[in-house]
Every structure is written in C-alpha cells, then in structure tokens.
Amino acid sequence: MSTTQETAQARTRTIMYREALNEALREEMRRDPKVFLMGEGVAQRGGSYKVTTGLLDEFGPKRVMDTPISEASFVGAGVGAAITGMRPVVEILFVDFAMLALDQIANQAAKFKFITGGKGKVPLVLRTQGGVGSGLAAQHSQSLEALFYHIPGLKLIMPSTPYDAKGLLKSAIREDDPVIFIEHKLLYMTTGEVPEEEYSIELGKADIKRRGTDVTIIAWSHMVLRALAAAEKLAEEGIEAEVFDPRSLVPLDKEMIIDSVKKTENVVIVQEAVRRGGIASDIASIIQAEAFDYLDGPIEILAGKNTPIPFNLNLEKACVPQEEDIIEAVRRMVSGT
C-alpha cells in the first residue's frame, strides 16, 4: 500500500519533517519508560535541528540527556544501556562524526546478538543526519550510508517524508536490533501529511511515491524529492516515471523493486553518496541477477562525484545529482540514445 493510500484512510494534518520525528520520540517515550534520549544538545537546546524540542520539559534530565562532545563515549554508553535492557535513542550531530564511534557501532552493537548465540539484544537507535546543504564543507556534508549498509547486524533507515520519518522511527525504537536512522539536513523543514492517530511503518517495506509505466527511478532520502520533481516535468513530455523509495535500505524490499522493474523495464538509480562502493551499485546488481530479462537497456546510476564536498555552494551543487541530471538520464534511457 502506498503512502497516499495509507494516509487516505486516516485524518491527517500537514507538519514538518522535524515535527514528525519529535512526535515519534514523544509517543514512544510515553509508551515505554525504557526509552531515553542522549546526545549533544538534545536537552537544553532541543537539538541542533529542533527535533527534541520540549522533550526535556516533559520527561526530565534522566530521560533526555545532553552529552559531552565525545561520540565514542556516549555511543558506547548507549550500546551498554541497550544490552542491559533499556531502549536508548542516541543522536550524533553529523553522520561524519559516527567515524569516531565505529568500534562501538560495528564491532560491539552490530555483533553482540551473533556472539551471544542470539540471546543478546541491542535495541539501540542511532539517529544522525547527513548529506549536502548550506555549504558545510567536507567534514560535515558526507553521505556515509554505504558504511553501515556493509556491516552485518545493523539495520539502516533513510526516510524522505514526514510520514515515513515518524512511522519508521517508531518502529526503529521498538526494534530489538541496532538501527542506524539517517535523516537529511535539507529535509527537516519540508512538510507533508501525517495522520493524527498513532501509526508505525514496518522496517523493510518500500513505498512507491509516484506510479509510472516507462521507467523506475529508485532514490532515497533527499534524492526522492528531486526524483519526484523530475518525474513531474517528464510527465509533461509524455514520459511516466515511477518513483520508488526503499525507505529501508537494510532490510531492503527486493521483491517490490523487482516488481517495479518488471513493469517499467527501465531503471535509473539516484544516490547522493559517491558512486564508488555505493548502495546504488548493489541494488543494480540485484536487479541484474533477478530481473535481467525484463530490462530494455543498461541500468543507469546517478551519484555523487568521487570527491570530498567543497565549501563553495556552486561546487557543492555540482558534486551531487540535480533534478536536471535525472531528467536527462531518463530521456536518454527512454529514447535509447
């Protein structure tokens, strides 16, 4: 069922992406006293992106905790708390800084269930944000989802809309395995319809954001918005693009991807992250293996340039796929040139 179909069955209102995340945290903290928050600036400041605004006032400093600027220490504390039965939501300000806690994430949280023979649980959510925007330069603008995608034991979520952000975060908090929940810095102020009543979205279920018959555009996070904008312009030319949002990259809804490819027979995959070693390449390999006979031509991948992100805004824009890049790729594919 698509997001449109799901929300049509419920009373909705239009709210911002960051407000949807705030609602998810608030609802889950009210539901389960084991849920608590920790991170840099999440308490007094309400988070740098205002996702945790008001939560300190309602739940107090024992459940909404500011941490020192020491990712290794507070991520490690979150892993330990999760192992002992709590459900921490740990925020890292920029995904770039997750590098400082990779041992805790990759060698401890991701492997604990395996090394305990399935007896141990690590119900940890690591919230962070990534991607370009606002000229924050090379150390604050990376798209590092492929790092986490590569590590067995981690689940990886990258929602593109307020509806998805709320529903997926609620499910992530209830999950018994560690979840990396990556938000995009350009999405926090975007708006969308969100049901008034409580809901959740199962991890591993993709969503078709726009239905089409001529080409499948697979994108996630902020690239979904660019794919949708491109699809609307392509429709004016008589090209109907299907915009496919995995929402959850681990687990990945392979069956739904293949079904879309079989229908359109053309595929463009768009990722903001650099091309080399990216998730788009892995998705392309899955399609090649399971739906090769349905393809009308080669799969095209649009991705970030293999370069650190520059500070200059014009150069930053040139480093990642833009709406026009998607349009041109689809035109080439449909025309066969």
Q: For residues 146 and 295, give the distance between their C-alpha atoms in angstroms, rounded to a whole number.
A: 25
Distance of CA 114 to the CA centre of its chain: 25
Q: Please identify which of the residues 23, 71, 183, 242 carries the catalytic annotation.
A: 71
Beta bridge partner(s), residue 245: 207
Q: Is 140 one of the annotated active-site residues of the chain?
A: yes
**Cα dihedral across residues 119, 123, 124, 130: positive or negative:** positive
Q: For residues 313 and 310, give the distance between their C-alpha atoms in angstroms, rounded to a whole number.
A: 8
Q: How far is CA 98 from CA 14, 35, 45, 109, 140, in A?
A: 32, 21, 21, 13, 11
Q: Is 71 one of the annotated active-site residues of the chain?
A: yes
Q: State whether residue 286 is helix, strand or coil.
A: helix
Amino acid (one-letter) located at 59: F
Q: How far is CA 159 from CA 54, 118, 298, in A?
A: 23, 28, 27
Task: Answer yes or no: are the C-beta atoms of 318 and 286 closer than 8 Å.
Answer: no
Task: Answer yes or no: are the C-beta atoms of 241 and 225 closer than 8 Å.
Answer: no
Q: Please identify which of the residues 19, 28, 140, 242 carries the catalytic annotation.
A: 140
Beta bridge partner(s), residue 89: 37, 125
Shortest CA distance to 82 belongs to which of 25, 125, 127, 30?
125
* Assigned token pair, 316: 């930053």
Task: Answer yes or no: are the C-beta atoms of 295 and 267 closer than 8 Å.
Answer: yes
User: Using omega within 30 degrees of 0 as the cis cutoff, is the peptide bond preceding 251 cis?
Assistant: yes
Residues noted as catalytic: 71, 140
